[in-house]
């Protein structure tokens, strides 16, 4: 508090707390905004510029988009990513919510703490390190679960990573790496459900399943939508898993399996940066459109 004088000369106190808090908030937000502009907005604008121009900087309209769409690998990559997204999003929603509910039921004791730690450990690995771990697991000659792979009829690494198995394998790798963090987030959201709401459900005679289905899951809706939006955006940019697998398999898995791989190929193998930028812009448009659809259809910003 500081002393100031009014027009009549009488001193009065003026609070400084809110002003300080406001300046601190602006400082924190300003740092984020600067990073967002430097590493988000400006690169996006640069990619859009390349997507609509040629190597000489001349405006070409949608020519780059047409050229990349006519590439014989483009539609295959679209199908691969779409199938992977279907597996990834369904498994993420179903298993993350189910495991979070189970964890919440075990909220007392060391079991819950141990499970939360174990769920989160795989997320500490970088994407490339996680894929390398799974390459080791999926190779029957060195895998610690080689007997299980043999029982499933897989004797060689090439049989395990056959093209028809890749969407499921990539889903398993992505779930193992990224689901743990979301389970912890959902667990925290479940802990924020008002105690009187849970008590009312118990008084009404609702069992564990009824409480989960009619009370807890509806109150997790916005968190689930948020998770799906981010998971869709990251899944559409599938790159590390198929890229490392293509290198490890020596051609069994192609280097143009996903759209991001195709973008990399256009930029660094075909020296067509404009075409690569066009595919990147298409991915951006699809991700933003999907996010807008999820938000509008789910009532994400509606007041509870």
pLDDT digits (tens, 9 = 90+) for 102-154: 888 876 566 666 666 666 666 566 566 777 888 888 888 888 888 999 898 88
What is the pLDDT at residue 75? Answer: 95
For position 31, what pLDDT does the model report? Answer: 86
Nearest C-alpha neighbor of 88 from the set 291, 256, 233, 292:
233
The stretches of the chain forming alpha helices (DSSP H) are: 17-36, 42-51, 63-69, 74-105, 110-120, 127-138, 146-151, 157-160, 166-191, 195-203, 208-211, 217-219, 221-236, 240-248, 259-268, 273-298
pLDDT at residue 116, rounded to an integer: 64
pLDDT for residue 121: 63
Per-residue pLDDT band for 282 (boundaries 50, 70, 90) equals very high
User: What was the pLDDT predicted at 164?
Assistant: 87
Q: What is the pLDDT of residues 181-214, one digit of tens each?
A: 888 889 889 988 888 988 898 888 888 889 888 8
- Average pLDDT of the segment spanning 237-257: 81
The CA–CA distances, whole Å, from 252 to 18, 164, 165 equal 62, 12, 12
As a whole-number percent, the residues of the chain with pLDDT over 70 amount to 84
User: Which tens digit of pLDDT belongs to each residue from 6-50?
Assistant: 555 555 555 556 667 678 778 888 888 999 999 999 999 999 999
The predicted pLDDT at position 204 comes to 85
Q: How confident is the model at residue 82 (pLDDT cuts 50, 70, 90)?
A: very high
């Amino acid at each position: 508090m500081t002393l100031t004088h009014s027009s009549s000369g009488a001193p009065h106190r003026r609070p400084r707390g809110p002003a300080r808090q406001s300046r601190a908030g602006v400082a924190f937000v300003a740092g984020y905004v600067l990073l967002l502009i430097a590493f988000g907005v400006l690169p996006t604008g640069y990619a859009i510029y390349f997507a609509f121009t040629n190597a000489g900087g001349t405006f070409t309209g949608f020519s780059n988009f047409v050229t990349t769409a006519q590439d014989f690998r483009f539609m295959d990559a679209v199908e691969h990513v779409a199938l992977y997204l279907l597996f990834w999003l369904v498994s993420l929603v179903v298993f993350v919510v189910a495991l979070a509910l189970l964890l919440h039921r075990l909220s007392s004791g060391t079991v819950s703490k141990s499970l939360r730690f174990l769920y989160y450990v795989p997320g500490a690995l970088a994407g490339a390190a996680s894929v390398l771990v799974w390459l080791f697991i999926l190779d029957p000659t060195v895998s610690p679960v080689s007997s299980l792979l043999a029982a499933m009829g897989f004797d060689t690494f090439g049989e395990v990573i056959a093209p028809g198995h890749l969407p499921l394998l990539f889903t398993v790798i992505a779930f193992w790496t990224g689901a743990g963090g979301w389970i912890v987030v959902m667990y925290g959201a479940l802990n924020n459900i008002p105690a009187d709401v849970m008590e009312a459900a118990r008084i009404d005679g609702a069992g564990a399943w009824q409480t989960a289905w009619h009370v807890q899951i509806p109150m997790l809706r916005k968190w689930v939508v948020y998770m799906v939006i981010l998971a869709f955006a990251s899944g559409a940019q599938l790159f590390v898993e198929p890229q490392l697998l293509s290198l490890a398999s020596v051609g069994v898995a192609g280097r143009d399996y996903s759209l991001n791989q195709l973008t990399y190929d256009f930029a660094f193998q075909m020296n067509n940066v404009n075409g690569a930028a066009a595919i990147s812009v298409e991915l951006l448009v699809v991700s933003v459109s999907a996010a807008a659809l999820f938000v509008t259809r789910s009532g994400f910003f509606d007041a509870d």
